[in-house]
Chain A
Amino acid sequence: MDKNLRILIVDDFSTMRRIVKNLLGDLGFTNTAEADDGKTAWPMLQAGGFDFVVTDWNMPGMTGIDLLKAIRGDDKLKGLPVLMVTAEAQRDQIIEAAKAGVNGYIIKPFTAVTLKEKLDKIFQRFEAAA
Chain B
Amino acid sequence: MAAVVVNINARSAEREAAPSIPDRAEYVNRLREILSALEADDQALFESRLNQLMRLREDGLFVNLAKLTRELHQAVKDLNFDERLQELAGSEIPDACVRLDYVVKMGEDAAHKTLDVCDDSRALVDRLNGCIGTLDTLRERLPTVAPLPIKGLTLANDIERVEQTMREIGGQLRSNFSTIAQAQEYQDLSGQVIRRVIALVHNIEGALIKLLMATNEGVRGPSAASAVTAGELAGPTVPGLGSGGQSQQDADSLLAELGF
Interface size class of A (residues with CB under 8 A): 20 to 34
Instruction: Judge whether A98 and B115 touch: CB under 8 Å.
Output: no
Chain A residues lying within 8 Å of B236, measured Cβ to Cβ, are: 87, 89, 108
Q: Given the known inter-chain contacts A58-B235, A114-B248, please indicate yes or no for A22 contacting B118, CB distance below 8 A.
A: yes
Instruction: Judge whether B234 and A93 touch: CB under 8 Å.
Output: yes
Chain B residues lying within 8 Å of A105, measured Cβ to Cβ, are: 251, 255
Q: Given the known inter-chain contacts A107-B247, A110-B248, please indicate yes or no for A88 contacting B258, CB distance below 8 A.
A: no
Q: What distance in Å separates the Cβ of A6 from its nearest Cβ neighbour in chain B?
A: 21
**Binary per-residue interface labels of chain B (223-260) against chain A in the complex, 1 for a CB within 8 Å, 0 otherwise:** 00000100001111100000111111011001100101
Whether A95 is near chain B, meaning CB under 8 Å from some CB there, is yes
Q: Which of A85-130 contact B (CB under 8 A)?
A: 87-91, 93-95, 98, 105-108, 110, 114
Chain A residues lying within 8 Å of B258, measured Cβ to Cβ, are: 95, 98
Chain B residues lying within 8 Å of A98, measured Cβ to Cβ, are: 254-255, 258, 260
Instruction: Judge whether B115 and A89 touch: CB under 8 Å.
Output: no
Instruction: Judge whether A15 and B245 touch: CB under 8 Å.
Output: no
**Additional A-B contacts beyond A89-B245, A90-B245, A98-B260 (20; CB < 8 A):** A14-B108, A15-B111, A15-B112, A18-B112, A19-B115, A22-B119, A57-B233, A87-B235, A87-B237, A89-B246, A89-B247, A91-B250, A91-B254, A93-B233, A94-B255, A95-B254, A107-B245, A107-B246, A107-B247, A107-B251
Residues on B lying within 8 angstroms of A by beta carbon are: 108, 111-112, 115, 118-119, 228, 233-237, 243-248, 250-251, 254-255, 258, 260
Q: Show 10 residue pairs from A and B whose CB-CB distance is below 8 angstroms, ordered by the A residue.
A: A22-B118, A57-B233, A58-B235, A90-B244, A91-B246, A94-B251, A95-B254, A95-B258, A106-B248, A107-B237
